[in-house]
Chains A and B, each alone.
Chain A
Amino acid sequence: MLNSSLQQLGDALRAGKISSVELTQLYLGRIAELNPALNAYITLNPETSLDQARRADALLAGGKAQPLTGIPVAQKDIFCARGWRTTCGSKMLENFIAPYDAHVITQFNDAGAVNLGKTNMDEFAMGSSNETSHFGTVKNPWDRNAVPGGSSGGAACAVAARLCAAATGTDTGGSIRQPAALCGISGIKPTYGTVSRYGMIAFASSLDQAGPMARSAEDLSLLLNVMTGFDERDSTSLQRDKEDYARDLDKPLAGLRIGLPREFFAEGLSQDVAGCVNAAIDEYKKLGATIVDISLPNSKLAVPVYYVLAPAEASSNLSRYDGVRYGYRAPEYGDLTEMYERSRAQGFGEEVKRRIMIGTYVLSHGYYDAYYLQAQKIRRLIAQDFDDAFKLCDVIMGPTSPSTAFNLGEKGDDPVQMYLSDIYTIAVNLAGLPGMSIPAGFGSNGRPVGLQIIGNYFAEAQMLNVAHQYQLATDHHDRAPQNIGL
């Protein structure tokens, strides 16, 4: 069961070979056993989960099942779920019980899926190692001295350690793809505007996008079918016809043109990762693809641009945490200003404060043109690079992350080093394009390597096809960590 695809699990549920309650209990049992060491989950409500499973079993018995009915899914703790504590990894929201469901949660509920629990994450999704969480670090199940990546580190860990059938994540600068790569799983960030941001706690609204994390591209397609769709409550939700993201999975890849941006294979890429990515490219050649040399000349500016735009948006979004309306309030203060300053100083962690400071600075009087406006102009240049590249190729491939998972604590004192670990993923968010990461082997240290696939706008079905054909030909995605009780 633990290594079954979502399709196989769904088939087993619909055939009555296992009930949703049994499946949910199986995962809850594993979580009870393994989560104390891995820390993938922040909040569990076993009774709520089992209630949902019982309702799913009733649907299954009544022949009213949809593809994901009865399947236990872990939800990133950035999604508000009615009645569930929703912390966003922060002390600021340590006791916040969400009074409503995010659109993503509603979609999974309507599909009959079971909310298995809320997964750990970097505080307000700001981080690349899950070390900024107020609720402690998450361990990488492949090597517990290593980080799982971030910010969706709990989700990636839970999928890799078989502590859920699938999970959700969000990706502002790489927060689905980088932890997917570091934990040896598959994850996709769809085109900006495809999944509603309603009820997803805001970090950088022009970049934030939710997506699924699972063990295979085929699983991702089923999850994306549930998560996507127009929602009028998100002003940037796109009005498009509903798609079946699994429709192209079985297409052959003959004639596929894969663009390799030379900037992604330059200095800074570790040997381990380069070796696995090049081997994956060779596999694609065997599957009939042709390789095109492309250039994304402004991609080196993606990190600096991102660290202006994302903190600027964050400083505005996080101004709501003022100690008055909800969330943490400092116990002692003199006047109103001191209440704000102490509540925010005590409620936010170091990285969040750092980004609020950057954002406040770049938006402050006299600096707006030099920083914010300049960054928005370069953002367009970065997007145009991709436009030009997609005239020459169908998909772009490269590494997801410059190295395999680094050690816990390794980059803790150096924010710039941490920021550079997202060097290959950030440009995709700035352009609003879909991007995914799939397992492509292991480094010499035994830690997983991810292959990044970037598609044109709305090319998710094609990217999933490209990923699925590779997964039919290879078995990296089927490998499981040791010591997870399989």
Chain B
Amino acid sequence: MSLTNADVRKVARLARLGMTETEIESAREQLSGIFDLIAEMQAVDTNGITPMSHAQDVTQRLREDVVTETDQRELFQSLAPQHQGSPQVEAGLYLVPQVIE
């Protein structure tokens, strides 16, 4: 299967992966090779086969609606992405880059 650079660019955009034109070119070659391998699947007749999404046929369990987590805000705040060596938090909140003017 041959992908075009435009295909690769579109997928990179969907996946939020920044790529240079050189990277797109090399990704196109490698992905084309991988999709050649994957193409072996296409010849198989799977009419009437139920898709298998999980190894075990189990249904989701229900649990009592009770509090199971304790408050660990300070611990979690300490893990926020760092800026100049300290976590980006203020007044118990997480600071994220401004996205709205």
Q: List chain A positions with a Cβ less than 8 A from chain B.
A: 95-97, 99, 191-193, 206-207, 232, 235-236, 238, 298, 300-301, 303-305, 307-308, 315, 319, 322-324, 326-329, 333, 335-342, 344-345, 348, 353-354, 356-358, 360-362, 364, 370-371, 373-381, 383, 414-416, 419, 430-433
Which residue of chain B has the shortest Cβ distance to A354 in the bound complex? Answer: B30
For B15, the chain A residues whose CB sits under 8 A away are 315, 344, 356-357, 360
| Residue from the list B37, B50, B80 in contact with A326, Cβ < 8 A | B80
| Residue from the list B30, B55, B78 in contact with A206, Cβ < 8 A | B55
Check B37–A96 contact: CB distance below 8 A: no
Check A373–B51 contact: CB distance below 8 A: yes
Given contacts A304-B37, A338-B18, A380-B50, 13 further A-B contacts (CB under 8 A): A193-B58, A344-B16, A345-B17, A345-B18, A354-B31, A374-B41, A377-B44, A377-B46, A377-B52, A381-B44, A415-B30, A415-B33, A432-B56
Which residue of chain B has the shortest Cβ distance to A306 in the bound complex? Answer: B38
For A298, the chain B residues whose CB sits under 8 A away are 44
Check A238–B58 contact: CB distance below 8 A: yes
Main secondary structure of the interface of A (DSSP, over half): helix
Residues 21-43 of chain B, each 1 if its beta carbon lies under 8 Å from chain A, else 0? 00000010011011011111110
24 A/B residue pairs, CB under 8 Å, sorted by A: A99-B72, A99-B79, A191-B55, A206-B53, A232-B61, A232-B63, A236-B56, A301-B44, A304-B38, A304-B39, A308-B38, A319-B16, A324-B97, A339-B97, A357-B31, A358-B31, A360-B14, A370-B42, A374-B44, A379-B52, A381-B49, A414-B33, A415-B34, A432-B56
For B53, the chain A residues whose CB sits under 8 A away are 206, 376
For B72, the chain A residues whose CB sits under 8 A away are 99
Check A206–B54 contact: CB distance below 8 A: yes
- Interface flag for B99 (CB, 8 Å): yes
Interface size in chain B (residues, C-beta < 8 A): 47
With A99-B75, A301-B44 known as contacts, the answer to whether A416 contacts B12 (CB < 8 A) is: no
Q: With A and B bound together, what is the CA distance between A293 and B36 in angstroms? A: 31
For B41, the chain A residues whose CB sits under 8 A away are 301, 304-305, 308, 371, 374-375, 378
For B52, the chain A residues whose CB sits under 8 A away are 376-377, 379-380, 383
- Interface flag for B82 (CB, 8 Å): yes
Check A236–B58 contact: CB distance below 8 A: yes
